[in-house]
Chains A and B, each alone.
Chain A
Amino acid sequence: MLEDELTVTTRQRDGITILDLVGDVTTFAEEKINGAYREVTGQGAKNILLNFRQNDYINSAGIAILIGIVTEVNQNNQKLAVSGLSSHFQKIFRMVGLTQYASIYQDEDEAVQGLNGKRA
């Protein structure tokens, strides 16, 4: 009742694997995020975009999940970007240091251009 369960869908655009994340990013999201990441990694994804949809609830447990993802991204020599975060969560990501491991873009278009080496 109180959870806005996370939905993760996967798609491709211009050589980028995009994971659309809609809903809450809390402890309940762990299996879905990790499952989607491991699936696309198994399929050979090199450039991955976590596309948030202005999610209004990302908590410290969600941040821990995302730190797990950046850890694996580093080990797997992938590139990770993040888009669609509200300004509050952009600030939180900066405070935590996630921005050292994943570039933050305002929206999907900017992120796709950035990951493909073009300036937005």
Chain B
Amino acid sequence: MDSGLQKPNSTDRVVELRLPSKLGYERVAMDTASSIATRMGFKNDRVESLKTAVGEAVTNAIEHGNQHDAAMKVIVMLLVQDGELVVSVADQGRKTLTEDCTTRTPRIAEVMEKADKGGWGIWLIRELMDEVEFGVTPNGGNQIRMVIHLER
């Protein structure tokens, strides 16, 4: 490990995005995450997984946390650490994520019986990332923190 040379939390390793709460802007976060992960040496399939997870987290923040209010921002922080990329996505918490939302495992046969066929986003994030935590920001918004490890 290169301890001493690079402090993991140094600000020169943080990229921060403030996105309007309008669908479509999640692509900016996906492209940024993809660009950083590719430069860090992540393989293509891992970059694709990261893009899907980041897209779902930001879409969720736009649609639920900020209720499509374009004046409200979604804050995305990407932190480059040794051997991993940490992405946190925070909204302004108009609607709080319930525990059921963050732990549910949808089953397609059951979903097909329902009118609403959705509910896959957070599950996909949990499946695709190496670590996922759900929390609350100091302002009461939802925050998803996810980590993807660089395989050596």
Q: Do A and B bind each other?
A: yes
* Residues of A in contact with B (beta carbons under 8 Å apart): 1-3, 26-28, 57, 59-61, 63-65, 67-68, 70-71, 74, 86-88, 91-92, 95-98, 100-101
Asked if B118 and A2 sit within 8 Å, CB to CB, the answer is: no
With contact pairs A67-B112, A88-B49 given, residues A2 and B28 touching in the complex (Cβ less than 8 Å):
yes
With contact pairs A88-B52, A96-B108 given, residues A64 and B23 touching in the complex (Cβ less than 8 Å):
no
Q: Quick one: which of B27, B30, B56 contacts A60, CB cutoff 8 A? A: B56
Q: In the complex the two chains form, what is the Cα distance from A92 to B128 in whole Å?
A: 9
Asked if A98 and B120 sit within 8 Å, CB to CB, the answer is: no
Asked if B24 and A59 sit within 8 Å, CB to CB, the answer is: no
Q: In the complex the two chains form, what is the Cα distance from A57 to B109 in whole Å?
A: 24
Residues on B with beta carbons closer than 8 Å to the beta carbon of A71: 112, 117
* Chain B residue at minimal CB-CB distance from A24: B27
Known: A61-B118, A64-B120, A96-B120. 11 other contacts (CB 8 A): A2-B25, A2-B28, A3-B24, A28-B23, A60-B59, A64-B116, A64-B117, A67-B111, A67-B112, A88-B49, A98-B108
Q: Quick one: which of A60, A87, A91, A97 contacts B121, CB cutoff 8 A? A: A60
DSSP class of B's interface residues: helix, strand, loop or mixed?
helix
Asked if A64 and B52 sit within 8 Å, CB to CB, the answer is: no
For chain B, the count of residues having a C-beta within 8 Å of the partner chain is 26
Instruction: Tell me the number of A-to-B contacts counted with CB atoms below 8 Å.
Output: 61
Asked if B49 and A26 sit within 8 Å, CB to CB, the answer is: no
Q: B107 near A: Cβ within 8 Å?
A: yes
* Chain A residue at minimal CB-CB distance from B27: A2
Residues on B with beta carbons closer than 8 Å to the beta carbon of A60: 56, 59, 118-121, 124
Q: In the complex the two chains form, what is the Cα distance from A58 to B42 in whole Å?
A: 21
Asked if A59 and B121 sit within 8 Å, CB to CB, the answer is: yes
Pick the most buried of A60, A67, A71: most chain B CB atoms within 10 A of its CB. Answer: A60
* Chain A residue at minimal CB-CB distance from B127: A95
Asked if A70 and B45 sit within 8 Å, CB to CB, the answer is: no
* Chain A residue at minimal CB-CB distance from B47: A88
The 9 closest A-B pairs by CB, nearest first: A2-B24, A97-B108, A88-B48, A60-B121, A64-B117, A60-B120, A64-B118, A67-B117, A71-B112
Give chain B nearest CB distance to A54 CB in angstroms.
12
